[in-house]
Chain A
Amino acid sequence: MPRFTTVALVAGAALLVRRAVRSRMTTAPLWPLPALDEPVSGYGRGSTVPRKVVVTGRATPAEGVVELRLEGTGLPSWQPGAHVDLVLPSGLVRQYSLCGDPADTASYTVATRLIEAGQGGRGGSREVHDRLREGVEIEIRGPRNRFPLVAAPSYVFVAGGIGITPVLPMLRAAEAAGADWRLVYCGRSRATMPYLDEIEALGGGDRVSVVAEDVSGFPDLGFLAHVPAETLVYCCGPEGLMDAVTAAMPEGRAPRLERFSAAATTGGTAFEVELRRSGRTVQVAADRSVLAAVREELPGITYSCRQGFCGTCRQRVLEGEIDHRDELLTDAERGDSMLICVSRCAGKRLVLDL
């Protein structure tokens, strides 16, 4: 008889467990395990999925320039100076600065000037002008920012032609922050220079000098030799203009430049990194990564891909302005951490929690 009761008990218990599991299959399928309060999985960064946008607007803000409105869902917000990669229908990848509203997560705005093959064009702008019609879907990568607007009491901006695109959101931001700014905006002729009206309205009189080559020749950059130390100088435009601005700067000071060439993606300026917990400081040369410099002091530090996509080298930043160069971290993560294999410092010094 006791055998019968044991069998009945075990069978009963098994039945109860089975029922308990069944009834929870929708809400807690791994019952009796608890759930993590804030689920992590399934709410990731989407870094392995192409981000797609649709061209929903085309405008011509100046001769030879087309402005595109690109709509998508949940687009990351960005900071003035940021750019995106457009993967064009042919597979060409081209970088364009964002010139719309940084807080807009439903659309991005870019503007491109048509550069014909005879003028050194490599086919990207031709394709943008010809093939990116309304309704076309394309993939974008980024945004990334190699040309960040660092907080300062005053700024000088020098833009040449289509180089105005990253500068335009900077002007709006500088104006909103109440900073003192001036802009030298040059181009071949007024008709070829986009956004003149908005910029002149923003400047309200003496802040903006428009230098159209057909009227007044090349800009006079002599004033740059006397810009005060707390004024930051930003320049985007043709190589010749950026060289001229660099040459016009006072001894030992460099302008912040935006260059869309391969060379610009790696290097940067030199800076120093303090490792707070270890009580050490390392120097990061212009052509080296933070990771490489830190590894000399802390050989056990973790990393893997060294290209900013695996996320294993992420470190907490205690002080200093980060120049994020990865595409992996979310905005929230960017607030106080960085991927030290690719990202750098936008100023002179970073303090890491290491």
Chain B
Amino acid sequence: MSNTQPAPVASEHVELKARKVSFDWDATPLHWVPGDPFTTHTINVLHLLLPAGERWFVHVYKQALPYITDDRLRADVIGFIGQEAVHSQAHDDVLPHLREQGLDPTPYTAQVDWFFEKLLGDRTLPPGRPRRWWLMERVAMIAAIEHYTAFLGNWVLNADELDRVGADPTMLDLLRWHGAEEVEHRSVAFELFMHLDGGYRRRARTWALAFSALVFLWQRGVRFFMENDPSLLDGKASFGQFVRKGRQGVLPSTPDMLRSIPRYLSRAYHPSQEGDTAQAMAYLASSPGANGGH
């Protein structure tokens, strides 16, 4: 096989299914990474972006379903839709808990809602080519975003440093259950994109868009949390802190993140080349939240 054709590394195909989960937030403190508001809030940005973002995945994929001509891929996409729908709900359910602790996320989430529902929503386009173009554009964006969700999922499954510093077990379980499902379904978005379109120019273009949007949203999110955190007098966020926490191991390391960029842009990229399905399945089998709740 030529090395310019994306192909899965191994036949580790698993049947995807949504899992019912339950997480009890009552005992989770505001700074759930003890004494480290910056790390806490950097990870908390997930709760700001994912409820609207993953709802949008589901919305877009429902429209893409009729174009799929491969039965196995269709089954994968159906499983993917259910998993993302539950992810969105689970992160959404963290937000009232933040509000109860004096950190109301609504000013931020209302804008993220607009971003996904209006800016990236169904525009009034004439049926036919323009509509299909916009659908493909969004399918490609989701493939790029899923490169990062899989990256983060794989990271959090292996972030032993978070256990060592005493991070809240319920929050860690939410992150690792979600991370494990991201690793489990990491190939679906890319395969759907390759199946429906697969153009390299589109892949590169939408990657650039998705990456810039993520950086923009993330840095604003961390600053929003740090400045509004009722327990911090002068909360500041900086890139330097991010690099340092990455070196410590409580956040993804900056060099690792930079190295993942050329991988997605390589013509031989396939998501199955990264992450470990067996590790993800093992976590899912033991996750308290995914097995009857805390």
Query: Chain A residues in contact with chain B, CB under 8 A?
Result: 21, 25-30, 33-36, 39-50, 52, 139, 300, 302-305, 307, 309-312
Instruction: Name the CB-closest residue of A to B109.
Output: A41
A44→B106 contact, CB < 8 A: no
A49→B112 contact, CB < 8 A: no
Instruction: Name the CB-closest residue of A to B221.
Output: A29
Cross-interface CB contact of A42 among B109, B114, B293, cutoff 8 Å: B109
Instruction: Name the CB-closest residue of A to B111.
Output: A30
Query: Could you list 15 A-B pairs, sorted by A, with CB under 8 Å?
Result: A30-B108, A35-B110, A35-B111, A36-B110, A36-B111, A36-B114, A40-B52, A41-B48, A41-B109, A43-B96, A48-B23, A49-B22, A49-B93, A303-B78, A312-B82
Among A29, A39, A40, find the residue whose CB has the most chain B CB atoms closer than 10 A. A29
- A26 proximity list for chain B (CB < 8 A): 107, 227-228
A305→B115 contact, CB < 8 A: no
**Chain A: minimal CB distance from B75 (Å):** 10
Q: Is B85 part of the contact surface with A, judged by Cβ < 8 Å?
A: yes
A26 to B104, CA, bound (A): 10
Q: Is B190 part of the contact surface with A, judged by Cβ < 8 Å?
A: no
| Given A309-B86, A311-B85, A312-B82: A39 in contact with B96 (beta carbons within 8 A) | no
- A34 proximity list for chain B (CB < 8 A): 111, 114, 118
Q: Is B92 part of the contact surface with A, judged by Cβ < 8 Å?
A: yes
Q: Say whether chain A's binding surface is mostly helix, strand, loop, or mixed.
A: loop
User: Number of contact residues on B: which range applies?
Assistant: 35 or more
A39 to B108, CA, bound (A): 10
A266 to B78, CA, bound (A): 22
A41→B113 contact, CB < 8 A: yes
- A302 proximity list for chain B (CB < 8 A): 62, 65, 78, 81
**Chain A: minimal CB distance from B292 (Å):** 8
B93→A47 contact, CB < 8 A: yes
Instruction: Name the CB-closest residue of A to B292.
Output: A91
A309 to B294, CA, bound (A): 18
- A40 proximity list for chain B (CB < 8 A): 51-52, 55, 113, 117
A27 to B227, CA, bound (A): 11
- B23 proximity list for chain A (CB < 8 A): 48-49
- Which residues B69-112 have CB closer than 8 A to chain A? 78-79, 81-83, 85-86, 89-90, 92-93, 95-96, 99, 105-112
Q: Is B220 part of the contact surface with A, judged by Cβ < 8 Å?
A: yes
B96→A42 contact, CB < 8 A: yes
A25→B227 contact, CB < 8 A: yes
Instruction: Name the CB-closest residue of A to B289.
Output: A48
A305 to B99, CA, bound (A): 30
A30 to B221, CA, bound (A): 8
Interface string of B103-133 (1 = CB under 8 A from A): 0011111111111011100000000000000
| Given A48-B93, A49-B24: A304 in contact with B78 (beta carbons within 8 A) | yes
A25 to B227, CA, bound (A): 7
Q: Is B193 part of the contact surface with A, judged by Cβ < 8 Å?
A: no
- B26 proximity list for chain A (CB < 8 A): 52
| Given A25-B227, A47-B89, A49-B24: A304 in contact with B82 (beta carbons within 8 A) | yes
- B24 proximity list for chain A (CB < 8 A): 49-50, 52
17 more contacts with CB within 8 A, not counting A36-B118, A311-B85, are: A26-B227, A29-B108, A33-B114, A34-B111, A35-B110, A39-B113, A41-B51, A41-B112, A48-B86, A49-B22, A300-B66, A304-B79, A304-B85, A305-B86, A310-B18, A312-B58, A312-B62
B62→A49 contact, CB < 8 A: no
Q: Is B25 part of the contact surface with A, judged by Cβ < 8 Å?
A: yes
Cross-interface CB contact of A29 among B89, B99, B111, B114, cutoff 8 Å: B111
Cross-interface CB contact of A304 among B18, B107, B112, B293, cutoff 8 Å: B18
A300 to B77, CA, bound (A): 12
B93→A46 contact, CB < 8 A: yes
Interface string of B4-41 (1 = CB under 8 A from A): 00000000000001101111111000000000000000
| Given A30-B111, A33-B114, A48-B89: A42 in contact with B81 (beta carbons within 8 A) | no
A46 to B89, CA, bound (A): 8
- A44 proximity list for chain B (CB < 8 A): 51, 89, 92-93, 95
**Chain B: minimal CB distance from A19 (Å):** 14
A30→B17 contact, CB < 8 A: no
Instruction: Name the CB-closest residue of B to A35.
Output: B110
Cross-interface CB contact of A35 among B48, B96, B113, cutoff 8 Å: B113
